Every structure is written in C-alpha cells, then in structure tokens.
Copies of this chain bind each other. A is one copy, B any other.
Amino acid sequence: MQNSEALALTAALLAAAGDLTRRINEGVVARGFEGRPAYGFAFTRLARGGATVTDLAAHLGVTKQAASQLVDEIVRKGYAERRAHPGDARARLVVLTERGVACTRATEEAAADAVAAWVDILGEGEVRALRERLTRIAPYGPIRPAW
C-alpha cells in the first residue's frame, strides 16, 4: 500500500465519522432534543443502571472533571439527575430521567436513520462487514467523540 493511500484512508475515516456524527446530531435535534454528540455516548453508559462520574470519565476517555462538567450539562437540561450512591457516600450515581431515556431512544433512531443512508449505498451486508472490521481494528478503547 502506497503512503499516499494511507493518508487517504485516514481522511476517508475522519470524513465518514464526521459525517455520521453530524447526521445523528441533526436527527436528534430534529426530534426535539438539544445536545451535542458526546451526549449519545454518555447516555449509552448511563442507560445501564446509571454510573458514577468516574465511570463515565473512563468510558468517554476524558478526565473526571470533564465528565463532571458534562453531567452538569445534562442535569441542567433535565436528561439526568444525581442520586446518592448506595454503599459509597463519596460517590453519586448519575441516572437518566424519563426525558433522558427519551433522548437516548431518539439518538438511537437518528443513528439508525443515518446508517440507513449508508445501507442504501453499500447494502446491508457491507455495512455490517464494515462495522465488524472496524471493531476488530479498534476494539473498545475509550471513545473520543470530539465533534
């Protein structure tokens, strides 16, 4: 593989990731929620019975201060609330509210819509293969959304 192709692959990956992220965010907004892309990844973690700020920080690959600020935001917007942690008085359990769950569903729907556009181009099998290969290449490190 030539050097220039490697850079083109990187550009294509970034363009694809950016495109998808943008479409999903637009879909979420169109469904009546305000947010930024990082919310979706935070929600997928919170949806499993809640999480501490530290859990969330690890999941998102940021400092706990940054995670705490994100929690401030989603609490202020009514998507989550901080509760006492059962069994650790230092920690606080961040759980989704009703509206937070609704936003999570909206995000998943928007993601499905965005990917559907890809399925139209590549076909379902190839999109699935794409995901499988990407997962093999970059097995769950923490996520760095960045858009």
Contact surface of A with B, Cβ cutoff 8 Å? 1-21, 24, 40-41, 44, 107-109, 111-112, 114-116, 118-119, 121-122, 124, 126-128, 130-131, 133-138, 140-141, 143-147
Contact = CB atoms under 8 A, between A and B. Distances in A.
B127 A12 contact: no
A130 B130 contact: yes
B126 A133 contact: yes
A54 B105 CA distance: 41
Nearest to A43: B7
B111 A137 contact: no
A11 B119 contact: no
Contacts of A44: 7
Nearest to A131: B9
A20 B12 contact: no
Contacts of A20: 9-10, 13
